[in-house]
Amino acid sequence: MTTVADESPSQSETSAASALAPQIGVIMGSASDWDVMREAGALLEEMAIPHECRIVSAHRTPDRLYHYAKSAKERGLRVIIAAAGGAAALPGMTAAMTTLPVFGVPIETKTLKGLDSLLSIAQMPFGVPVGTLAIGRAGAKNAALLAVAILALSDEAVARKWEAFRKRQSEEVAEAPPKKP
């Protein structure tokens, strides 16, 4: 199966799991976020979950964001993952314009190590929630897994994949550290 790992967000459209109507939307504020967000795309690809990856900037392409968020539900998306760095408005603004669940991934920044991104995404006012993940790659991958967990609530095939992932993960943990350092 083609993975999105080595491709840009737009090229990832040709991948197998993206050929079906997407259920998960992965958006990011800049092409520079793709190095981290490709991890979310790769995980969804690996689990064959229909998804799309797009660059949508709250500050640089506000019209694109408006159209994306407003059309997301009617296009069949069930969950949106939004990643941004710095003054990271994208997840919150997306959540403001859709009732779909939105997960935010804070991208690590050079100046403040992603603390700026984290606080911008986490500190939403009451009534417009964004589920905020860890800064960087772990957050990107966990956002994908949370989105899968949500789909699994109403899709048995996805539930089986999700349970298999968790089982495999547990089985891969050794009981003791390796003898040689």
Contact footprint for ligand RP5 (CB under 6 A): 28-30, 32-33, 57, 59, 84-86, 107
Toward ligand RP5, which CB reaches closer, 33 or 39? 33
Toward ligand RP5, which CB reaches closer, 7 or 33? 33
Minimum CB distance to ligand RP5, residue 29 (Å): 2
Minimum CB distance to ligand RP5, residue 87 (Å): 7
Toward ligand RP5, which CB reaches closer, 25 or 50? 25
Using the Cα atoms of residue 104, residue 70, residue 29 and residue 153 in order, give the sign of their dihedral: positive
Minimum CB distance to ligand RP5, residue 59 (Å): 6
Toward ligand RP5, which CB reaches closer, 28 or 40? 28
Minimum CB distance to ligand RP5, residue 142 (Å): 18
